Structure 1
Amino acid sequence: MQVVKKINNNVALCCDNNGQELVAFGKGIGFPKVPYELTDLSLIEMTFYKLNAQYRRLLTELPEDILTLSSQIVQHARATIDRPLNPNIVFSLADHLNFAIIRLQKQQDVPLLYSYDIEQFYPQEMAVGQYAVRLINQQLKIKLPTAEITAIATHFLNSQVNVDIKVQQEQQIIEQVMRLIERCFQLQIDRQSFTYNRFVLHLNYYLRRLQQSQPTPSHDQNRLYQIFKQQLPQIYQCACDVSALIDQAYQTTSNQAEQVYLMIYLQRIIDNSQTEQLGGEK
């Protein structure tokens, strides 16, 4: 492989044996005088072909240590998360990390909170978030807020490549669920809101767990289930209708724990809708 242009000490523009241009990540590959022939290909950690203009710009604008850290985190994620990731996540993650660090240095408030429901449902992604924050804090001698664990975990959730051929069916089911909820409560769900996007994320993985016969961990939630059933019967009934719709589509059986989480999300959607209504009336 021919190294033709240094981007930084660990990233270089290269040319493979077929004459194809690529960007390669590898410790020290940009350090020697270019151009040169790289014979030890074991030094190469990641390669990227046909990078668009945005990612090429990021390579020149982002600090070298941030790109290196992002590369380490993505390598760890690929060994931890058992689903395929967007091949260009190293760039988008580096951009996110750089912004988070700048925000910290300027002492700007971080609006996100640590999410215990993401921790519950997506332990692999949260483990990567914890690893990333720990690595960054150690390497850069800073202290990122705990909220960044959730932010990084969500970044990996959003960057997963859905290779399931039933993705269109999933989208159709989710839209049916939304229309059902709107009919149940006579409201219009704001599809741009944070609450909506979190709920869709939850539904996506709910559907995939059911298809893979991996039910939601059923901790002792009977008390909360009974509270909803007795004190919030409309939310309880809507959650039952949503789970019935999904189970009918996939020939599955949702457990009580999943219904409890549906009820919690439904309560959030209602609260969010009422808050928007009050805001519009002022």
Structure 2
Amino acid sequence: MEIRKVLNNNVVLATDSDGSQVILTGRGLGFQKSAGQQVDASKIVQVFTPTSREDYVTLRDFLVDISPEYVGLARMIVDAAEAAWQTTFPQALIVALADHLVFAVKRAETGTVTAHPLKAEVSHLFPNEYQLAQRSVAMAREQGHLPLSDEDAVAITLHFVNALAFATSDLSKTFAMTEILAQVFDVLESAYDRDFATEDVNTARFITHLRYFFARAASGQQLSEQPHAFNTSVRDSFPEAAQAAQKVRAVLELRLGTTLTEDAATYLILHIARLTGNLRKDPR
């Protein structure tokens, strides 16, 4: 790759083999280098491919102010997550995690670490992501020698959930989704007078269904294809679940500011029926 512009000693703008512009990070990558020279590939920590001029400016401004070690550690965490879930995350997750690591270290060094307000909800609703986030904190301590707090596992979990559900760097939707999920379980636990353990496969499926619903609702793509007779049959077959689903529907519509389609409401009934042990066969 050929250097187009040296942004600082650790960050350069370069041209890839296919002619596209990329931002490269790595310790000493731009040291005593100039435009037209070849990049030392052995020093590259991460390759970022801007998708627009705005994206380039955002990445440039962020990367010139951050140590490449934080970017490299964030890349390691993302690699572990991609391997665990057999998926590919957007490069925005690396940026978000690197940024989190920087401020987590500052909080630890200044003694301003506080308990995360959503810790109970996050660890309960997203146990798999939380477990991997705890491993990420351990990785940051052991391999990056960073003084991260146990509380950082909560924030890292939310970054994972956000990337899986919304593929954006904005955590506001994920914060809202977490709070709504907790409220939904409050409604169901009251309706059925029981707790729902997230270790149970049906509870995990229900949470996954709602996460996909949130993603579809956020993009205005709710389900709407089943015949009216199917929706009526489901309501008649599972009256208790239908009654509980009506309460959950009211919460979702109020919190999301949107109206659920009849198909979305029907699948909600089916998932509640399965969650509560009233459905033996997978509706899908």
What is the TM-score when the length of structure 1 is the normalising length?
0.56
Q: Does 1:105 align with 2:122?
A: no
Partner of 1:198: 178
- Write the distance in 2 (CA, Å) between the matches of 1:84 and 1:201: 25
Contact 2:28–2:43 (Cα < 8 Å) also in 1: no
Contact 1:26 1:43 in 2 (8 A): yes
Partner of 2:271: 253
TM-aligned CA distance change 1:105 to 1:237, over 3 Å: farther
| Residue matched to 2:47 | 46
Give, in angstroms, the shift of residue 126 of structure 1: 1.9
2:66 aligned partner, one-letter code: L
The amino acid that maps onto 1:49 is P
The correspondence of residues 116-265 of structure 1 with structure 2, limited to 5 A, is 116-160=120-164, 162=166, 196-200=176-180, 205-208=208-211, 239-242=244-247, 248-249=266-267, 252-255=270-273, 257=275
Alignment match, 1:21: 21
Deviation at 1:252, TM superposition (A): 2.8
Q: Deviations over 1:167-203 (max 9, x none)?
A: xxxxxxxxxxxxxxxxxxxxxxxxx999854234667
Alignment-mate amino acid for residue 17 of structure 1: S
Corresponding pairs, count: 207
Q: Any conservation in 1 of the 2:45–2:71 contact (CA below 8 Å)?
A: no
Pairwise CA RMSD: 4.2
- Structure 1's unaligned 5+ residue stretches are 164-191, 211-235, 260-282
Alpha-carbon deviation of 1:132? Answer: 2.0
Please give the per-residue CA displacement for 1:35-65, whole angstroms capped at 9, x wherever unaligned: 4335869967533224332221111111232
Shift of 1:71: 2.0
Instruction: Report 1:72-111 matches (<5 A).
Output: 72-111=76-115
Report the secondary structure of 1:146's partner residue: coil
Tell me: CA distance 1:64–1:8, structure 2 relative to 1, closer, same or farther (3 Å): farther
For residue 69 of structure 2, what is the amino acid of its counterpart? D
Q: Structure 1 pair 25/125, CA: closer, same or farther in 2 (3 Å)?
A: farther
Deviation at 1:112?
Answer: 0.2
Alpha carbons 2:10, 2:64 under 8 Å: kept: no
2: CA distance, partners of 1:89 / 1:114: 20
After TM superposition, give the deviation of residue 153 of structure 1 in Å: 0.8
> In the alignment, what sits opposite 1:216?
none
Contact 2:130/2:154 (CA < 8 Å) preserved in 1?
Answer: yes
Q: CA 1:89 to 1:15, structure 2 compared with 1: closer, same or farther past 3 Å?
A: same
Match of 2:37 in 1: 36
SS of match in other structure, 1:13: strand
**Which secondary structure does the structure 2 equivalent of 1:37 belong to?**
coil
The Cα of 1:80 is off from its aligned counterpart by 2.2
Amino acid at match of 2:71: L
After superposition, the Cα gap between the structure-2 partners of 1:45 and 1:123, relative to the gap in structure 1 and judged at 3 Å, is farther
In the alignment, is residue 64 of structure 1 matched against residue 68 of structure 2?
yes
Between 1:17-26 and 1:125-134, the stretch displaced more is 17-26
CA contact (8 A) 1:85 1:161 kept: no
Amino acid at match of 2:246: D
Q: Which segments of 5 or more consecutive residues in structure 2 lack a partner in the other structure?
A: 185-206, 214-240, 250-261, 278-284
| Offset of residue 98 of structure 1 | 0.9
Alpha-carbon spacing, 1:251–1:193, altered in 2? closer, same or farther (3 Å): closer
Residues 43 and 98 of structure 1, relative CA distance in 2, 3 Å threshold = closer
Q: In structure 2, what is the equivalent of residue 225 of structure 1?
A: none
With structure 2 as the length reference, what TM-score do the two structures score?
A: 0.56
What is the alpha-carbon distance in structure 1 between the residues aligned to residue 145 and residue 31 of structure 2?
Answer: 25
Q: What percentage of aligned pairs have identical amino acids?
A: 21
Deviation, structure 1 residue 32:
7.6
Alpha-carbon distance between aligned partners in 1 of 2:32 and 2:2, rounded to the nearest angstrom: 12
Distance 2:89 2:66 in 1: 21
How far is 1:78 from its partner?
2.0
- Between the aligned partners of 1:42 and 1:63, the Cα distance in structure 2 is 14
